[in-house]
Amino acid sequence: MSCRHNILCVEMPMILNIGCRVHTTSSISQNAHAEVADDVLLSPSVPLTSIQGQSPVWSLSLFSRTLPPNMLTSTEIIIFYKYVRISDPVAFVAWQRATCEELGLRGRILIAEEGINGTLEGPTESIAEYESRMHGRPEFSDLWFKSSPGTGEAFKKLIVKLRSEIVATGLPKGCDIDPNVVTGKHIGPEELKRWIENGEDFEIIDMRNDYEYAVGHFANSRNSTMANFRDLPKIAAKFEGLKKKKVLTVCTYGVRCEKASGFLKQEGFEDVYQLHGGIGTYMKQFPGEDFLGSLYVFDGRMTEQFTSKYMVIGECTACGSKTERFGNCAWHDCHKQLLICFNCAKHEKGIWCNDDCMVGAASGVPVR
Ligand SMILES: [Zn+2]
Ligand SMILES: [Zn+2]
């Protein structure tokens, strides 16, 4: 198997973690944490001629540590977006669906006239082929794919949908933001690290939903408390006091900040930045630093970690004990995602997010 790094990847029962990609043919159970090779240093000394009859020239120096089970896979997850005018969205939806089906990829892709927003999982080689085909299209030749090790179970199926926006903002017609016209200044993880270490005077506004913030966030960041991104129009009033300050918006992998930072500018915020590549890119570059807890992700993994050494900060809605387990409010009219620990999840009547939901569940009538 040849990877995109032009390094020989041999068939063997262990993980070859080469920089940003994980290549593996492991048969190790994904259900338990296991001691696996973390870093593989390649050096041309001891040949591994016994493996698959190849004539490799590498020896392997292995350093072990405990990795989460979702890192023991041969699959890869990519997340990507781009705001760019799609001239024929219907035809592009058909092309995406056909391409993904041909390559055996699962996930979710939203397409609108304003661009594309997607997350896909599949075998590493299929993901590479998908990236290559996308990069072959002129409008996506610079598309940035953020990559994580897969689980093989991140998505049950493939969904490709045509929408009016690639992330629903709730902004009224005529007030929508075109990030190619108005958006916050992009800064990368290194720049943010400098800001933090230099003690610069700035505020981080987390543009994710409240349940995402609950399981992990930057230290000292502001929680937008949005139930979903359609609450975006409400946040200008909430952060009114920051209009003259330097503010940095953050979100999972960057797509929401393109419009959220533009929205703040449109609302009169004077000095607005956004974290390019999002929290995931920062965590990958500075694992276990500055960001507390885990990164919520919208797939079967629920959360993503970049180091085994991190502190769980999520707290059970019912009992307050530390947890990263998500459940749903038991009131069917709400069904909001909540942190609910394993013990409280056994409660026969379920857990509600607040008294209104408890009353609603008891009476069958929503409390508004
Ligand atoms: Zn609990
Ligand atoms: Zn509820």
Asked if residue 132 belongs to a domain, the reply is yes
pTM over 0.95: no
Same domain membership, residue 33 and residue 57? yes
Q: Using the mean position of ligand 2's atoms as its centre, give its distance from the Cα of residue 297 in Å.
A: 21
Give the C-alpha separation, 317 to 315, whole Å: 6
Q: How confident is the model at residue 49 (pLDDT cuts 50, 70, 90)?
A: very low
- Number of structural domains in the chain: 4
- Answer yes or no: do 118 and 212 share one domain: no
What is the per-residue pLDDT across 13-36, written as a single tens digit (0 to 9) for each? 232 222 222 222 222 222 222 222
Ligand nearest to the backbone CA of 325: 1
Euclidean distance between CA atoms 223 and 213, whole angstroms: 7
The residues facing 185 across adjacent strands are 273
Does residue 366 or residue 338 have the better pLDDT?
Answer: 338
The one-letter amino acid code at 198 reads N
Instruction: State mean pLDDT over 348-367.
Output: 85
The CA distances from residue 153 to 121, 150, 222, in Å, are 8, 8, 33
146-172 pLDDT, tens digit each: 999 999 999 999 999 999 999 999 898
Decide if 347 is inside a domain.
yes
The pLDDT of residue 2 is above 50? no
Which ligand lies nearest to the CA atom of residue 361 in the structure? 2
- CA–centroid distance, 336 to ligand 2, in Å, is 5
Q: What backbone phi and psi angles, to 5 degrees, belong to 185?
A: -70, 135
Strands 303-304 and 295-296: antiparallel
Give the pLDDT confidence of 288-322 residue by residue, as tens digits: 999 999 999 999 999 999 999 999 999 999 999 99
Asked whether residue 201 falls in the same domain as residue 256, the answer is yes
Whether residue 197 has pLDDT greater than 80: yes
How does the average pLDDT of the chain come out, rounded? 82
Q: Are residues 58 and 26 in the same domain?
A: yes
Q: Give the range among 39-48, 66-75, 279-288 with minimum mean pLDDT.
A: 39-48
Catalytic (active-site) positions: 251
Residues 191 and 276 in one domain: yes
Tell me the ligand closest to 333's alpha carbon: 2
CA–centroid distance, 183 to ligand 1, in Å, is: 40
Question: What percent of the chain is modeled with pLDDT above 70?
Answer: 80
- Residue 186's pLDDT is 98
Among the bound ligands, the one closest to the CA of 344: 1
CA of 75 to the centre of ligand 2 (A): 35
Statement: residue 327 has pLDDT above 80: yes
* Domain identity same for 79 and 65: no
**Do the domain assignments include residue 301?**
no
Compute how many other C-beta atoms are within 10 angstroms of the C-beta atom of residue 273. 21
* Higher per-residue pLDDT: 12 or 97: 97
Distances (CA, A) of 266 to 30, 164, 184: 47, 21, 10
Residue 324 has pLDDT above 70, yes or no: yes
Is the domain of 274 the same as that of 211?
A: yes
Under a CB-based contact definition with an 8 Å cutoff, are residues 204 and 248 in contact? yes
Per-residue confidence (pLDDT) for residue 86, from 0 to 100: 98
Tell whether 289 is covered by a domain. yes
pLDDT at 106: 98
Q: Same structural domain for residues 206 and 258?
A: yes
* Domain range enclosing 366: 315-368
Residues 144 and 93 in one domain: yes
CA 334 to ligand 2 center in whole angstroms: 4
pLDDT range class, residue 117, cuts 50, 70, 90: very high
* 323 & 367 share domain: yes
pLDDT tens, residue by residue, 217-270: 999 999 999 999 999 999 999 999 999 999 999 999 999 999 999 999 999 999
DSSP-derived letter for residue 180 is: T
Cα of 351 vs centre of ligand 1, distance in Å, is 9
**Domain limit, last residue, from 296, 328, 351:** 296
CA distance 328 to 331: 8
* Same domain assignment for residues 99 and 135: yes
pLDDT-derived band at 11 (thresholds 50, 70, 90) equals very low
Q: Is residue 53 one of the residues assigned to a domain?
A: yes
Would the pLDDT of 6 be above 80?
no
The residues, any chain, with a CB within 8 Å of residue 62's CB and separated by 6 or more, are 14, 37, 39, 40
Q: At 42, is the pLDDT very low, low, confident or very high (cuts 50, 70, 90)?
A: very low
| CATH value at residue 148 | 3.30.70.100
Ligand nearest to the CA of 316: 1
What is the bridge-based pairing of β-strands 291-293 and 337-339? unpaired
Residue 75 in contact with residue 147, Cβ under 8 Å?
A: no
pLDDT at site 60:
27
- The crossing angle, in degrees rounded to 10, of helices 278-285 and 189-197 is 70
The pLDDT of residue 175: 87
Whether the pLDDT of residue 84 is over 90: the answer is yes
**Which ligand is closest in space to the CA of residue 338?**
2
Dist. CA 119 → ligand 2 center (Å): 28
Kind and range of the H or E element at 288?
none
Distance 300 CA to ligand 1 centre (A): 22
Task: Evaluate if residue 182 carries a pLDDT over 60.
Answer: yes
Q: What CA–CA distance (Å, rounded) separates 217 from 215?
A: 7
Among 4-8, 139-143, 161-165, 222-226, whose mean pLDDT is lowest?
4-8
Q: Are the CB atoms for 58 and 44 separated by under 8 Å?
A: yes
Of 69, 97, 112, the last residue of a domain is 69
211 and 237 assigned to the same domain: yes
Q: What number is the average pLDDT over the span 96-117? A: 98
Expressed in angstroms and rounded, the spacing between residue 366 Cα and the centre of ligand 2 is 10
Domain with residue 198: its CATH number is 3.40.250.10
Cα 292 to ligand 1 centroid, rounded to whole Å:
20
Asked if 278 and 80 count as a contact pair (C-beta separation under 8 A), the reply is no
Rounded to whole angstroms, how far apart are CA atoms 329 and 327?
7
Give ion ligand 2 contacts, CB < 5 A: 329, 331, 334, 336, 353, 357
CA of 308 to the centre of ligand 2 (A): 32
**Is 1 a domain residue?**
no
What are 54's two structure tokens?
Answer: 């190849």
Q: Kindly state the greatest CA–CA separation across the chain.
A: 73
For 40, other C-beta atoms within 10 Å of its C-beta total 19
pLDDT grade for 72, boundaries at 50, 70 and 90: very low
